[in-house]
Chains A and B, each alone.
Chain A
Amino acid sequence: MSEPKSGAAKGVIGQRLPLVDARKKTTGEAVYTDDIRLPNTLVGKILRSPHAHARIKGIDTSRALALPGVAAVVTGAENRANFGVLPISKDETALAVDKVIFVGDQVAAVAAEDEEIALEALGLIQVDYEVYPAFLQPEDSLKDVADPAHKIHARTVGETNVHKQVDQHFGDVDAALKDARIVRRGHFEFGSVTHAFTEPHCVIARYDTDGKLTLWSATQVPHYVHRALVEVTGLPMHAIRVIKPMVGGAFGGKSDPFPHEMAAALLSMKSGRPVKILFDREEVFLSHHGRHPTKTDIAVALDRDGKISGLDLKVLIDGGAWGSFGVVTTYYNGVLSAGPYDVSNFRYSGKRVYTNKPPCGAMRGHGAVNSRFAFEVLLDEIAEELGEDPCELRLKNFLPEYTTTINEFRITSNGIAEGMLRAMERSGWKEKYRQLPPGRGIGAACGFYISGSALPIHWSKLPQSTVHLKIDMDGGVTVHAGTADIGQGSDTMLAQCVAQVLGLPMSRLRVYTADSDMDPVDLGSYSSRVTFMAGNAARRAAEQIRTELIEAASRLTGYPAEGFVLEDELVVYTPLPRIRMSYMEALTEALADRGALIARGSYQSPPMGGKFKGAAAGLSPTYSFQSYISEVTVDEETGFVKVEKVWAAHDCGRALNPIAVEGQVEGSIHMGLGQLLSEQFRYHDGNVLNPNLLDYKTLSAKEMPEVECILIESGDPEGPFGAKECGEGPLLPILPSVANAIHDAVGVRIRRLPVTPEDILQGIQKNRMERSDVAAKIRVA
């Protein structure tokens, strides 16, 4: 079979390559956690709270334990250790301790010989509850509680259920609002959306006779799971091994260490046998950790020069039952609004509250999506009121490259203006805006996003990413990294970075990731950090090996090392290209008397940012930038929106693999449209009313518009081969660009998501009535 010519002279960077695991995934050969079958494995099942808020007066597990086939039962009384993804809000336990705080909270866990026995055992556990009043609306959680016992967590602001409060002010927003040429204000409400990844949570824990705990889990941050397991099990870190098998999607929803992972570990330690817990879809919905619903009040001011002179944001964030990433979310709802425009005065007040609902957490576009929507819609309104082109208004206000934002983010490469101009040109914006027939409209919006959080969650001098390489006499290159490929293609990215430096085809690369015994620590797949950080680490490791191969070639030929390059499986002396040898010849020389080549590369963000409280939030070594234009048709009799086409310009620095980047852009658009048009948690009291994929309403392929990806390659000076993130930023502008297009089509402004056909129809009818009122007044006059 002929080798694909992916290792051609140009190298593998920038090539449209299938992901390294694509064949295995499409044929079913890929091994996900649930595919792993260890001998003697018990089935773990979880008893969940039927109450939104209640005190546990007692749990009697004796009947469950007596059931033949039950190997172990655990409850919160046996392990009260706290954990949580952020060291500053560790408010979770493996199983509920003393009280339950949402419908679905884990009360007890059972390990049994099979699923039927485990389920029967759950039914035999007697729990005595004293039901407490439930806090279901975020406003209720702002108030002082009537009884201290009714605080959802002990550590809150005063006697309220406020988890985190952030207040920041840069410049003088009041003065900016007063002196403005125009100020627009709006109140926006955003529903609760979840990731809806394909693979349900699944974990296998095996505590073996050597006293070693191995955990296989569908996680995006094996390292944080590792840390949490230490706290819950009390085992030393080196006695715990965490492995992430193939993961079927995560989008932020697998970025916390989870109570079910802790429960599986405890059950295995108690029974001495492997325990597997696989969630059903309802459990995935209850586990949630999706986007925080917010109520957002915003004011945007434009000065007499047409510059954005003020941004005033006040956000109430419904956190659900746990802290999770919520402190970060609270900051991100504000700080990630300080661009991509040059905002000269900025104030943010954010409050995140606990409520008795499934916990919210990180979700693609974490913290930035809702405020971005409000900001971009108000910019459109301002443009409309001034009779200006909203794209031109944006072009006048973009941050330049290599600058600093008002809240001291270091901006490096920035291709947003180029993106805006190209999206305008490709979409025919100038011919379409305000000129399409009724029911058809076009709208624009922008965004920017972090390309890796510059500061790690746990303060440490350890690098944020480390990559190990090994090459032995077989000529294959083994990549070891702690990174978590969750479907986004980070394994492919690592292989590409290494193959590029070594001038090798992808077929020589083999990537082993996310096994804490075998691979160096990586902080995991969140904050869109992996390409930038682990990609740099991989490149640096490969450069060391390249040096060794070149030195070997220099020794063999007698020519100076400086002139050699590696390309196309050859080592070539460029001043005299006939002086060359194969990669294998150079390798054989390099291995002589020493054995396998090994190398280590790592990445640590440079110091940056301001000195004020909360200055670290939102800092990133670089940022991605987006400019989108969307065209829609709105059925004026039904209110249904059809998104016809999206021109999506995304500055990813450099597209290491354009297919992978386009996949992220298209996937982000699909996910963002769901939040805009159809997805939401519906509640009946504290119960999620639609905890299944039929009723939750993720959009289908049929609702997906045509997407024209316009990849802007601004070439980041610090990114690997110039690259920066593409996994989250592309979600931000789709919601407001479509909302602005809907306004262009039918004159309806959107203030509440998801917007239903009925909402749009009511808006159209209200407009008609107002118009006929005006007409009537004119007639009367």
Chain B
Amino acid sequence: MLLPRFELHRPSSVDEALTIAARHAGDCDFIAGGTDLLQNYKNRLNPRGHVVSLLGIDALQELSPTRIGALTTLARIEESETMRRELPILVEAASKVASPLVRQTATLGGNLLVETRCYYFNQSEFWRRSKGYCLKAEGDVCLVVPQKETCYAAFSGDMAPALMALGASARLKSLDGERIVKLTEFYEGDGIKRYVLRPGELVQGVELPPSATSLRGAYRKLRLRDTFDYPELGLAVTLGMEGEKIRELHVCAAAMETVPLCFDDLTGSLHGQPLSDSLIQLLGERIVKRVKPVKNTALSPNYRRKMVMVYLRRMLEQLATAGN
């Protein structure tokens, strides 16, 4: 398939990138690995006339347990001994994205901002035209849940829930300056709006609290095949224990809705309690009741919700024993 024509800009600094983006405001995308963006461009999904490549900006390449640059490839995270020792949950999440070949190119920033996905959106121009397009690209009606207000495309990144569960924040920069936004507050809105990123603003990377390395963490991904596939459910759990009692517990999920979800409001009240079967059951039931996947991926919404409970229990049992 042919890419649409666009002008490619190759700045060597963040400021230069932001300046170019501002000059072409509204008709510009940033590109890193391109594994998501270019495929969507080929399908004529919201292509822009200007594309700013970030690959020449060395400052965005850093990788440490407290700071990860947006340009860090998922393969680098996966292969990092330091990360495996300090934050194995991120290695686990990175190693489950797409395929080994894609991970050589795909970046952390790209995975955080990965385009939301839906059977009715991720189609060729020919396909979408034959159906009269959809809300998320060129049309005005959602083909999954017929109405004109909300896009239900699913957030399909694996890194965001894992990073959220570690308390990570996004480091944003625009011509107005830098700001730090907790990832739990970064994502909001429907399948089109998705996050609080302002026009012309760039994700430089994430930063993690030093205490993150003290948490035990796990990431599990529901999908038909153990490679290639986007998550049908991506569940991240982090746990800190004080003796037999929960010191800290975070549960975050991808692919359930249009943004990654964090259930701190349900887990916060559990701090100080012993991690029991009944506690896990109750927490699972509350989360299952909360999530509202729709029928726009391979597995049924009902099944995906059911698996939240199974995964949560297995992961908490694993994390509980991992510390002993």
- List chain A positions with a Cβ less than 8 A from chain B: 48, 50-51, 103, 115-116, 119, 280, 282, 637-638, 678, 682, 684, 687, 689-691, 694-695, 697, 699-703, 756-758, 761
Q: Which residues does chain B contribute within 8 Å of A691, judged by CB atoms? A: 123-124, 127
Q: Which of B163-171, B183-191, B284-292, B297-305 contacts A (4 or more CB under 8 A)?
A: B297-305
Q: Which residues does chain B contribute within 8 Å of A682, judged by CB atoms? A: 119
Q: Which residues does chain B contribute within 8 Å of A757, judged by CB atoms? A: 224, 299, 303
Contact A697 B225 (CB under 8 A): yes
* Contact of A115 with B2 at beta-carbon distance under 8 Å, contacts A694-B229, A700-B228, A702-B227 already known: yes
Task: Kindly identify which residue among B120, B130, B227, B228 contacts A51, using a CB–CB cutoff of 8 Å.
Answer: B130
Task: Kindly identify which residue among A115, A695, A702 contacts B119, using a CB–CB cutoff of 8 Å.
Answer: A695
Contact B143 A280 (CB under 8 A): no
* Contact of A756 with B130 at beta-carbon distance under 8 Å, contacts A699-B225, A702-B227 already known: no
* Contact of A687 with B130 at beta-carbon distance under 8 Å, contacts A116-B2, A282-B124, A758-B303 already known: yes
- Given contacts A48-B126, A282-B124, A684-B119, list 18 more A-B pairs with CB under 8 A: A50-B129, A50-B130, A51-B130, A119-B2, A280-B1, A638-B222, A682-B119, A687-B127, A687-B130, A691-B123, A695-B298, A697-B298, A700-B225, A700-B227, A756-B299, A757-B224, A758-B302, A761-B306
- List chain B positions with a Cβ less than 8 A from chain A: 1-2, 119-120, 122-124, 126-127, 129-131, 143, 222, 224-230, 298-300, 302-303, 306-307, 310
Interface of B is mostly: loop
Q: How far is the CA of A703 from the CA of B227 in the complex (A)?
A: 9
Contact A282 B225 (CB under 8 A): no
Q: How far is the CA of A51 from the CA of B126 in the complex (A)?
A: 11
Instruction: Considering the complex, give the chain A residue whose CB is closest to the CB of B230.
Output: A694
Contact A282 B126 (CB under 8 A): yes
Instruction: Considering the complex, give the chain A residue whose CB is closest to the CB of B304.
Output: A758
Q: Which residues does chain B contribute within 8 Å of A687, judged by CB atoms? A: 127, 130-131
Q: Which residues does chain B contribute within 8 Å of A758, judged by CB atoms? A: 299-300, 302-303
Q: How far is the CA of A682 from the CA of B298 in the complex (A)?
A: 9
Q: Which residues does chain A contribute within 8 Å of B222, judged by CB atoms? A: 638
Instruction: Considering the complex, give the chain A residue whose CB is closest to the CB of B42.
Output: A280
Q: Which residues does chain B contribute within 8 Å of A695, judged by CB atoms? A: 119, 122, 298
Q: Which residues does chain A contribute within 8 Å of B126, judged by CB atoms? A: 48, 50, 282
* Contact of A689 with B119 at beta-carbon distance under 8 Å, contacts A51-B130, A282-B124, A282-B126 already known: yes
Q: How far is the CA of A48 from the CA of B228 in the complex (A)?
A: 29
**Interface-central residue, B225, B226, B228, B310, by most chain A CB under 10 Å:** B225
Q: Which residues does chain A contribute within 8 Å of B2, judged by CB atoms? A: 115-116, 119
Q: Which residues does chain A contribute within 8 Å of B224, judged by CB atoms? A: 678, 697, 757
Q: How far is the CA of A684 from the CA of B132 in the complex (A)?
A: 13
Q: How far is the CA of A757 from the CA of B224 in the complex (A)?
A: 9
Instruction: Considering the complex, give the chain A residue whose CB is closest to the CB of B300.
Output: A758
Contact A684 B143 (CB under 8 A): yes
Nearest-neighbour CB distance to chain A for B187, whole angstroms, equals 23
Instruction: Considering the complex, give the chain A residue whose CB is closest to the CB of B302.
Output: A758
Q: Which residues does chain B contribute within 8 Å of A694, judged by CB atoms? A: 228-230
Q: Which residues does chain B contribute within 8 Å of A116, judged by CB atoms? A: 2
**Interface-central residue, B122, B131, B222, B224, by most chain A CB under 10 Å:** B224
Task: Kindly identify which residue among A103, A119, A678, A684 contacts B120, using a CB–CB cutoff of 8 Å.
Answer: A684
Q: Which residues does chain B contribute within 8 Å of A700, judged by CB atoms? A: 225-228
Contact A702 B299 (CB under 8 A): no
* Contact of A702 with B298 at beta-carbon distance under 8 Å, contacts A115-B2, A695-B119 already known: no
Instruction: Considering the complex, give the chain A residue whose CB is closest to the CB of B223.
Output: A697
Contact B130 A678 (CB under 8 A): no
Instruction: Considering the complex, give the chain B residue whose CB is closest to the CB of A702.
Output: B226
Q: How far is the CA of A682 from the CA of B119 in the complex (A)?
A: 10
Q: List 5 A-B contacts (CB under 8 A).
A: A103-B130, A638-B307, A678-B224, A691-B124, A703-B226
**Interface-central residue, B119, B129, B143, by most chain A CB under 10 Å:** B119
Q: How far is the CA of A241 from the CA of B244 in the complex (A)?
A: 79
Task: Kindly identify which residue among A48, A119, A638, A678 contacts B225, using a CB–CB cutoff of 8 Å.
Answer: A678
Q: Which residues does chain A contribute within 8 Å of B120, judged by CB atoms? A: 684
Q: How far is the CA of A48 from the CA of B129 in the complex (A)?
A: 11
Q: Which residues does chain B contribute within 8 Å of A282, judged by CB atoms? A: 124, 126-127
Contact A690 B225 (CB under 8 A): no
Q: Which residues does chain A contribute within 8 Å of B300, judged by CB atoms? A: 756, 758
Contact A702 B124 (CB under 8 A): no
Instruction: Considering the complex, give the chain B residue whose CB is closest to the CB of A116.
Output: B2
Q: Which residues does chain A contribute within 8 Å of B130, judged by CB atoms? A: 50-51, 103, 687
Instruction: Considering the complex, give the chain B residue whose CB is closest to the CB of A114.
Output: B2
